[in-house]
Amino acid sequence: MAQLESTFKNMVLVLAGISLFAAITLASVYSVTKEPIAASKVAKQQNAIKEVLPSAFDHLAEPVQVEVNGEQLVVHKAYDKNNGFVGAAVESSSNNGFSGRILVMVGFDKEGNVVNYSVLEQKETPGLGTKMVEWFKTDKGNQSIKGKNPAKNNLTVSKDGGEVDAITAATISSRAFLATINNAYKAYAEQESNDATTGATSKK
């Protein structure tokens, strides 16, 4: 096979061919992995909902979006086998983490107390901000937020006058995490208020 003459035109053609091949390859990989990635995210979300809700939880109403501080939060209201309201799981986020966005699923009981939480996404510093996954549910000092009610408790870091111990050397991450909790409660409370006004009921 004759070697292409080393001219500017030929170099451009070769580079264009390589770029086209790379683009087709990347598009193929994306097409193959798109659905599994989406399915994995849905599974993670569903597992998080189950993890953070009260044990009496049996089924959910249709999810509702509630705007809080310019963010669209998703509220999943939960009911027991007798269709009695037991609480809600709220998907809440903050873009103010040390390394960007933090996405959290927070569970509340029917009184508005925090049942549990699950961190869905975070890119915080390993060994520091990443400790949020367990830190705020660990019964040590004033770390745990479980059982606390944002309407009654000041769920901000102690450095800011709040009741919660920040992650050691990760105050920014702690502030962002607690902001997701407080915003989640606002969405939960607003949805409860809307339902009380409209008389909305659950769907099995």
What number is the average pLDDT over the span 184-195? 87
Cα 117 from Cα 134, distance rounded (Å): 9
Using a pLDDT cut of 90, give the percent of the chain over it.
68
Residue 201, pLDDT above cutoff 70: no
Cα 137 from Cα 134, distance rounded (Å): 6
**Residue boundaries of the structural domains of the chain:** 53-198
Decide: 124 and 97 in contact? Cβ < 8 Å.
yes
Residues 6+ apart with CB under 8 A from 62: 203
Instruction: Give the residue from 104, 100, 97, 107 showing the smallest Cα distance to 119.
Output: 104
Residue type, 201: T
Cα 43 from Cα 90, distance rounded (Å): 16
pLDDT value of residue 198: 45
pTM: 0.78
What number is the average pLDDT over the span 86-93? 96
